Structures are given as C-alpha cells and as structure tokens.
Amino acid sequence: MALKTNVYISDVTNLTEARYYAGMGVSIIGFNANPENSRFASSQQFDAITSWLSGIQTAWQWHSAPSEALTALISSSPSDFIEICNVPLPNQWQFLTKPVLIRTSSVEELENIASLPPNTVSGIVWEGEPSLLTPLSSDLLQFIQTKPPFDQLDSLLDQHKGISLNGIPESRPGWNDFDQLADLLESLETI
C-alpha cells in the first residue's frame, strides 16, 4: 500500500502494531527510549520487533539531552532516525549519529532550527498550532502531530509534507483497536 503523504507513528511498543503500520505503508515508526514513559520500549523490544519488519524506517525517541547513553543505544540497537525535543547544545551534536527529527511546539525552537546549517536536521514533528509552522526548507520532512477527529486532515496535507500520530497500546497481547487509525490510513492511500 502506498500513502499520499509521509506518516510517522510514535510510541510503538508491540509487534502487532508495528507490523500493521508497516503493512499500511507508514514511513517511520518511533520507539520511546524513556524508561519513565508508559510507552517505553527497551532495546530488546526494539530489536525483537524490528527483526520482523522490512520497508519501514525506525526512530528512537530520545527526550533527554543527547549523551553517551544515546550513542550506546544506537550502536546496540540501530535506528534510522533519532527524535529529540530541543536543538542540542554545540557539545551534544557528537552524540547524534543518525539523522535527527526534532519534536517541538515552540516557534522559538523553529527559529533555532532555521538558523542551523543545512542538512543538520532531517525533519520536524510539529505539535503546535499548524498555522504557525512555516516551511523551513523543501528538504526538511515536516510532520504535523494530529489526533482524532481527523476532520482537518486534507487542509493539513495541502500545506505540509506529512502527519505524525501516536501509537495505539494493546488492550491485551496481540489485541489492538485500529478502527479509527485504519480509516485515516485508508483515506491516505494513493489510487
């Protein structure tokens, strides 16, 4: 299945969910590396899940300052992207060994991103008001965080390169309710 826009789904925690997203043509799935988060995915979970997938890119969601711990995580369980929440300090860039996605809702943070050298950041996951996100670069992936109901999706897609959604937790092992998400992804199918 091919989708007419890029779709990034964050906070993936189980194989059922990951395989569903891969089969539906999602571009990137993210795994939360924060142990205090209810949607935390360990490196063992990441490895077990991603070993069953092909054709989909992955991201570690790292919401602390980039550090040696991030470098160790990436070297033991490689992803395609690293998602962070702030523009790193100059001494923190060394720990970012994969293309960077920055999740933000701050216009000030957008200005910081715009002032970076070209190709420093691969994409933005925008959680703020969609009208405040101005195109920074034609090369930059720009995902707009969306939540149900998805009634404004067409206008978002006219202006931006992709959408970001949160994963769906299992109610019990192997059991997810994808109904609402399935309707959305099917509406994005190319004909």
Question: What are the extents of the domains in the chain?
Answer: 6-187
Q: 175 pairs with which residues across the strands?
A: 172
DSSP characters over 96-159: --S-EEEEE--HHHHHHHHTSPTTS--EEEE-S-GGG-----TTSEEEEE--S--TTHHHHHHH
At residue 137, the pLDDT reads 57
Q: Looking at the predicted structure, is the pLDDT value of residue 139 above 70?
A: no
Q: Looking at the predicted structure, is the pLDDT value of residue 89 above 90?
A: no
- What is the rounded average pLDDT of the residues 73-82? 95
Picking from 13-27, 41-55, 91-105, 167-181, which range would have the lowest pLDDT averaged per residue?
Answer: 167-181
Q: Looking at the predicted structure, is the pLDDT value of residue 188 above 60?
A: yes
Q: Looking at the predicted structure, is the pLDDT value of residue 141 above 80?
A: no
Q: What percentage of residues in the chain have a pLDDT greater than 90?
A: 43
| Predicted confidence band of residue 151 (pLDDT cuts 50, 70, 90) | low
Fold of the 6-187 domain? TIM Barrel (3.20.20)
